[in-house]
Amino acid sequence: MGIQSNTHSPMSQPPKMALDPMGKTVVMKPDLIIDCDPGHDDAMAICVGANRGHLIGVTTVAGNVSLEHTTNNALAVVQMLGIDIEVHSGAAGPLNGDDGRFASFVHGENGLIGASLPEVTRQVASTDAADYILSATIEHPGAWIVAIGPLTNIATALERHPALIDRISGISIMGGGTYGNISAAAEFNIHFDPEAAEIVFKSGARIIQCGLDVTHQLLVTDALVDATAQIGNGFGRFSNGLLAGYLENIRLLTGESLEAVLYDPCAVLAITDPEIFEFADRYVSVETRGEHTRGMTLVDQRSWMRGGPVKWAETIDAERATEIILSAITAAP
């Protein structure tokens, strides 16, 4: 019988330490590979990852919008942040070959409604994201994969080389939940490619899961939009248009004065700033066949089934998370 575990640490591994030029011991930033489908919240997650972690590469997948748009958006964000990393495009649709249902109704036809994008001068380094993930984790053993889109690229990498799980610290996923948003039971990222999600959750990798239960605690508010308007740099202006456009579109969709959910930074912060979360160990399964539940992540909440292999994020200090996000935007060019 499992024992309930609530902890502020996503994994038991100690942080990497190093000596600074003065000989003082400092904590090294974690190596991150962000696999994404930008998306307003993905753009913010890349910014936070570049600021709070050591971002070594970005891979793209179709999801919020088509692969063409998600890749262009990732290139634009990396370019605006001025970071010298590669962007690799990946899967244009789910593993089963079906056409994915994009979320352009949420994020706009290009995925970043409201944002002013620069002319993109960066180019993709390859069109095989899975191969890049495999090679990058050889060069950077102990890296974290931050998966904030459909899990197609990650599943493809695991199918090619299952031992990938032994050379990474883990996979931090934005996806799933005890309820859904694209259907009554399923969250968008998992629902887009349930077969890929099943492969990842069954892989044996260390997994942190930031589902809707925790992401709905971190919101885009009018106050956050106003705060970005006070940041004088280029990325601040970009973020202001991006977040204002996202919030306006959500209100148009719902017909209510709601806040928008800032999903994806949670999966980055769960690695870089785990102290602002509360986690619990859970068993999680992915439903791939149910008529009404396809894409659902079944989080086992039974008291005698506690102690599972997934670090399930239960709560986030939203005020502190918002401060960190604003700090990352302020630190950008």
Neighbours of 311 (CB within 10 A): 25
Average of per-residue pLDDT across 78-82: 98
Helix, strand, or coil (residue 86): strand
DSSP state at residue 309: S
Of 186, 174, 160, nearest to 36 (Cα)?
A: 174
- Residue 261's H or E segment, with its range, is strand 260-261
pLDDT digits (tens, 9 = 90+) for 267-298: 999 999 999 999 999 999 999 999 999 999 99
Q: Is 256 left (phi over 0), alpha (psi -120 to 50) or beta?
A: beta
Distance CA(107)–CA(65), nearest Å, equals 8
Token pair, residue 41, equals: 């919240």
Report the pLDDT value the prediction gives residue 17, as an integer from 0 to 100: 56
Report the pLDDT value the prediction gives residue 25, as an integer from 0 to 100: 54
Q: Give just the sign of the alpha carbon dihedral 26, 27, 33, 39.
A: negative
Residues 200 and 245: beta-carbon distance below 8 Å: no
pLDDT digits (tens, 9 = 90+) for 67-79: 999 999 999 999 9
Residues 56 and 84: beta-carbon distance below 8 Å: no
As a whole number, the mean pLDDT across the chain is 93
Helix, strand, or coil (residue 70): helix
For 16, 96, 105, 202, the CA distances from 93, given in Å and listed in that order, are 36, 8, 18, 21
Report the pLDDT value the prediction gives residue 22, as an integer from 0 to 100: 52
Residue 251 has pLDDT above 80, yes or no: yes
Report the pLDDT value the prediction gives residue 1, as an integer from 0 to 100: 28
Greater confidence, 82 or 23?
82
Residue 19 has pLDDT above 70, yes or no: no
pLDDT band for position 24 (50/70/90)?
A: low
Distance CA(206)–CA(46), nearest Å, equals 22
Greater confidence, 306 or 123?
123
Q: Which amino acid is at 14?
A: P
In angstroms, how far is CA 226 from the centroid of its own chain? Answer: 24
Of 5, 11, 276, nearest to 168 (Cα)?
A: 11
Report the pLDDT value the prediction gives residue 305, as an integer from 0 to 100: 87
Report the pLDDT value the prediction gives residue 28, as an integer from 0 to 100: 87
Report the pLDDT value the prediction gives residue 16, as an integer from 0 to 100: 63
Average of per-residue pLDDT across 182-186: 97
Residue that is written with structure tokens 């793209």 in the block:
60
Token pair, residue 1, equals: 């019988």
Residue 9 has pLDDT above 50, yes or no: no
pLDDT band for position 21 (50/70/90)?
A: low
CATH architecture designation of domain 30-331: Alpha-Beta Complex (3.90)
Name the pTM for this structure. 0.93
Residue 4 has pLDDT above 70, yes or no: no
Residues 38 and 46: beta-carbon distance below 8 Å: yes
Q: Is 253 left (phi over 0), alpha (psi -120 to 50) or beta?
A: alpha
Q: Which amino acid is at 179?
A: Y
pLDDT band for position 15 (50/70/90)?
A: low
DSSP state at residue 49: H
Of 54, 20, 49, 19, nearest to 36 (Cα)?
A: 49
Average of per-residue pLDDT across 205-231: 98
Average of per-residue pLDDT across 243-249: 97
Q: pLDDT exceeding 90 applies to what percent of the chain?
A: 88
- Residue 173's H or E segment, with its range, is strand 168-174
pLDDT digits (tens, 9 = 90+) for 126-165: 999 999 999 999 999 999 999 999 999 999 999 999 999 9
> What are the domain boundaries of the chain?
30-331
Strand-pair partners of 32: 55, 144
Report the pLDDT value the prediction gives residue 100, as an integer from 0 to 100: 77
